[in-house]
Structure 1
Amino acid sequence: MDFTLTKEQQDLKKWARDLAKEKFSEKAYTWVKNKEVPWENARILAEHGLMGMTLPEEDGGQGMTLVEAIIVMEEIAKVCPSTADMFQVGNFGAIRQLAAYGSPELKARVLPQILAGEKLISVAMSEPNAGSATTDLETRARVEGDKVIVNGSKVFNTHGPHNEYYVVWVRFGEDVKSSGAILIERGMPGFVLGKTETHMSGEEHCALYFEDCEVPVGNILVPDNGFKKLFTMFNIERMGNTSRSLALAQAAFDMAVEHAKERHQFGRPLAEFQGIQWKVAEMKMKLEAGRLLLYKAATNADKGAPSPLEASMAKCYINTTAFEVAHEAVQIFGGYGYSTDYPLEYIFRRIRGWMIAGGTPEMLKNKIAEEVFDMRFSQRPPKPKNSEVLS
């Protein structure tokens, strides 16, 4: 078993690192502060063939592997997290559900705009009463002739105020097996955006409201019984979440190491204190272990999607340990790490969000246990017996 990157992958890593430093470093960490979307960087990604790396060539992509996309993601995210978000849109997120399940006509109309870095797309899953419990979706859709009528609402949508397209998870009936997905576009009749809100990390989001929203039937991606299909592709989105979390933790670690070399206290560099050495050693082990889990999940997926078990283990471990690494990096920096004039405090806040988005560590541990035991564990309370109902 070879744990080293191939010559081609090493070359790709260096090329992506050099590109990120040259094109994205100057404005890095300014986009969120200025409440701006890095459209110019999205177009640079597109110009260099980095939007659609993981999509099939027939859909306008490059047909490359998840591992290759993760290699690029890490190098971009370490330099500019906001540009990495654009890379996520073009390779890991809702675009994969559109590419996998959209009709040829729908893909031909929508994908080129996203791959050119001109439009954004996100998955609309979470609802006020259905966060982790996606089987409790209350957003309903019914087919009427050549249209689909959608009613309901969504919350916490990535780039919500700025998206052009939303892959909306719905129910076409009352039963959970009727769950599916529709591509809904900004401006469609009956579709209204809520007020712009801000996460702790500074990212903007908004609620989505559908009141007899009319959508062409051709925009249906998955008509029913869709959870298995949707989560298969969503595990790819989780890999994007995970790789950005790891990359920012690595960036925090690198900053802390350099600071420990240069910063002197009591007449000695911080690096000479055993307490700092132990922190750095722990941080390094966690990063390396996380990277192995991530690369294993992505490698075993080949050009498809990672297994639920391996995706859950990678995301759960990396989200948790990346937060621990960022926390220790702030501690090593002391007051400078806590200052908004330095990027560490942003990294700390941003990493924390990925412990919620895309599946919490608690929910992922439930999934890991199900895979280990080969059993389904319901989180719902047991149904009352007939005698209890009658009484």
Structure 2
Amino acid sequence: MSDIADYYDLSRIRPEVQAKLRLVNELGREKFAGRAKGIDDDASFPVENYRDLAAEGFLGLCIPEEFGGWGFSMFEYAMVGAEIGKYCGATALTFNMHNSSMAWSRFMFDMPNLTPQEKAAFAPLRERQFRRAIAEKAIYSQPISEGGQNWTSKPNQTQCRKVDGGWRINGFKKFASLAGYCDYYTIVCTEVFEGQEPRHEDTMLFVVHKDAPGLSVRGEWDPLGMRGTNSRDLILKDVFVTERDLLMPRGIFNKTLPNWPHMMITLSPTYIGVAQGAFDFMVDYLKGKIPGQPPIDRRMYATKRVAVGKMYARLANMRALWWQAFGEAKGFPSKGEVLRMYAAQYNVMEGAAEMTSMAIRTCGGQSMLKSLPLERMYRDSRCGALMLPFTSEIMEDYLSVLALYDMDEIDSAPGDEGGARMSLWRGEHGAARSAR
């Protein structure tokens, strides 16, 4: 299996981050890799992997040090997520859901466009979430999809309505990763008012405990890939929440997220990891170093060597762009930084599927067997390009629009029917657009 020194410039990575990257690789080699097949076969949640991650402190990865966390940047989190993905894609993908909730509270609080009053209201809310993750080792999920509803183009169909002492939430979430296994769900919903159509600017985020009355998990989970995410349906029926349950105060989500667009590509580390894992397996297979397999050296075949060269070049290009994009992750990025971010997301999601497909072709028929991990990696890799909010098709559109149109022309560019470009970055006008 590859080492972080094989593909990262370690002089640009803090020593304490390097130590955690090596630790997660140790967990991956000794524990995650061996469990991955059973998790995939049974479509079961990686409970033991989460126990290991929690025991080593990884649940606090993005939490500021003053609250007991590690204070990792988005760039540093991405590297950790990618290393997990080398061994178990489902663990890496769900780990992102937990860390996204922590990251939203961490990085959006630091946005320069928040007023002192907004930060004062935000501070106790985020501290509550941080303390839970550190002291209780609480795991968070972040279900957003609603099945057939594009939450980037229209307000969330899960709605909350004001009642005495708080709100009542009604709705459902599709593909709710960690369903039944997390401690808290970060619920994105729309506050509705009598006589008024639902609006994006009325988006609210609440943290709902797994045992809250009215919350239930339903449905089967038998997908193509990423089977261990346990992404079943989450039903909310008159779930009561109060102001103490807010993830962030009213209005801050719409004021900050459009100006922190890198927050929406945090699925990509998983797929960089899957691609690297597939490459590593292929190299070991061709060397005859796979445990339980005959020690046959297949490196003498020119066709296989050529394929390995092509794949190394593809993976190196993917990682270089992806690493640069996450290194530039911050609030209020430039247009060039956003274009690189979109290009990185597109290249990773498309490239992971290409890499695993080529790895199977290069290794040959044995690699199709479920007893070997490459077949699972192949199926896992097919899932990335269709994940909202930044599917490959959306990235193609966004890249073309930002490349072809000046910022003051974007809203008049064809193809925005039905608000299809609601999640498109619009520079300094982003927050205003998202509130429409």
> Which bracket does the TM-score occupy, shorter chain normalised?
0.7 to 0.9
Shift of residue 116, structure 1, vs aligned partner: 6.1
Partner in structure 2 of residue 27 of structure 1: 35
2:288 to 233, 239, 262: 262
Question: What aligned pairs does 1:315-354 form with structure 2 within 5 A after superposition?
Answer: 315-354=345-384
Q: After TM superposition, give the deviation of residue 87 of structure 1 in Å.
A: 4.0
> C-alpha distance in 2, partners of 1:339/1:108?
47
Give yes or no for the alignment of 1:276 onto 2:313.
no
* Aligned match for 2:222, one of 185, 193, 198: 198
Matched, 1:380 2:399: no
CA contact (8 A) 1:39 1:118 kept: no
Q: Deviation of residue 341 (structure 1)?
A: 0.8
> Could you say if the C-alpha distance between residues 90 and 142 of structure 1 is closer, same or farther in structure 2, counting changes exceeding 3 Å?
closer
Report the TM-score, using the length of structure 1 for normalisation: 0.83
Equivalent residue pairs, number: 374
Q: Aligned equivalents of 2:168 and 2:261: distance in 1? A: 25
Partner of 1:175: 199
- Using the alignment, how far apart are the partners of 2:152 and 2:353 within structure 1? 24
Counterparts of residues 1-391 of structure 1 (less than 5 Å): 4-6=9-11, 8=15, 12-85=20-93, 87-91=95-99, 93-99=100-106, 100=108, 103-115=122-134, 118-131=137-150, 133-173=152-192, 174-201=198-225, 202-203=227-228, 204-220=230-246, 221-224=248-251, 226-227=253-254, 229-230=256-257, 235-236=262-263, 238-239=265-266, 241-262=267-288, 270-301=298-329, 308-358=338-388, 359-372=390-403, 373=405, 374=407, 375-376=410-411, 377=413, 379-380=416-417
Change beyond 3 A, Cα 1:115–1:254: same
In structure 2, relative to structure 1, the CA distance for the partners of 1:89 and 1:132 (3 Å cut) is closer
Residues 249-296 of structure 1, C-alpha deviation per residue, up to 9 Å, x if partnerless?
111112112223339xxxx95433333233222211111111111211
| Cα-Cα RMSD | 3.2
Can you give the 5+ residue segments of structure 2 that lack an aligned partner in the other structure? 1-7, 110-120, 193-197, 290-295, 420-436
Secondary structure in structure 2 of the residue aligned to 1:188: coil
Partner-residue secondary structure (3-state), 1:150: strand
| Distance in 2, Cα, partners of 1:179 & 1:275 | 54
Where 1:33 maps in the other structure, the secondary structure is helix
Contact kept, 8 Å, 2:353 with 2:378, in 1: the verdict is yes
> Matched residues in 2 for 1:13 and 1:151: separation?
41
Q: What is the rounded CA distance, in whole Å, between the counterparts of 2:271 and 2:204 in structure 1? A: 29
Query: C-alpha distance in 2, partners of 1:51/1:380?
Result: 40
Q: Which letter does structure 2 place at the counterpart of 1:4?
A: D
Q: Distance in 1 between matches of 2:37 and 2:131?
A: 28
What is the rounded CA distance, in whole Å, between the counterparts of 2:385 and 2:276 in structure 1? 17
**Distance across 1 between alignment mates of 2:370 and 2:163:** 53
Distance 1:26 1:303, change over 3 A: farther
Q: Which stretch of structure 1 is more off in the superposition, 270-279 or 212-221?
A: 270-279
Q: Contact 1:90 / 1:114 at 8 angstroms: preserved in 2?
A: no
**What is the one-letter code of the residue matched to 1:64?**
F
> How far has the Cα of 1:15 moved from its partner?
4.3
Contact 2:214 2:236 in 1 (8 A): yes
Residue 50 of structure 1, CA deviation: 2.4
Distance 1:355 1:97 in 2: 23
- Secondary structure class of the residue paired with 2:352: helix
Q: Which runs of 5+ in 1 are unaligned?
A: 383-391
Q: Which amino acid aligns with 1:247?
A: G
Q: Distance in 2 between matches of 1:186 and 1:234?
A: 29
Q: Find the residue that maps to 1:152 and give its secondary structure.
A: strand
> What is the CA distance between 1:152 and its match in structure 2?
2.0
Task: Give aligned-pair identity as a percent.
Answer: 21
Q: What CA deviation, in whole Å up to 9, does each residue of 1:323-352 have, x standing for no partner?
A: 100001111222222111111111111111
Alpha-carbon distance, 1:360 to partner: 0.8
Stretch deviating more after TM superposition (346-355 or 219-228): 219-228
- Equivalent pair of 2:278/2:359 in contact (CA under 8 Å): yes
Return the alpha-carbon distance in structure 2 between the equivalents of residues 323 and 233 of structure 1: 27
Q: Report what 2:118 is aligned to.
A: none
1:42–1:117 CA contact under 8 A, matched in 2 = no
SS of corresponding position for 2:353: helix
Offset, 1:363:
1.1
Give deviations 1:212-252, integer Å, cap 9, x for gaps.
3211122233524734534566733623x211101111111
Task: Note the C-alpha offset of 1:193.
Answer: 2.3
SS across alignment from 1:316: helix
Structure 2 distance, partners of 1:348, 1:274, is 24
Paired residues of 1:24 and 1:80 also in contact (CA < 8 A): yes
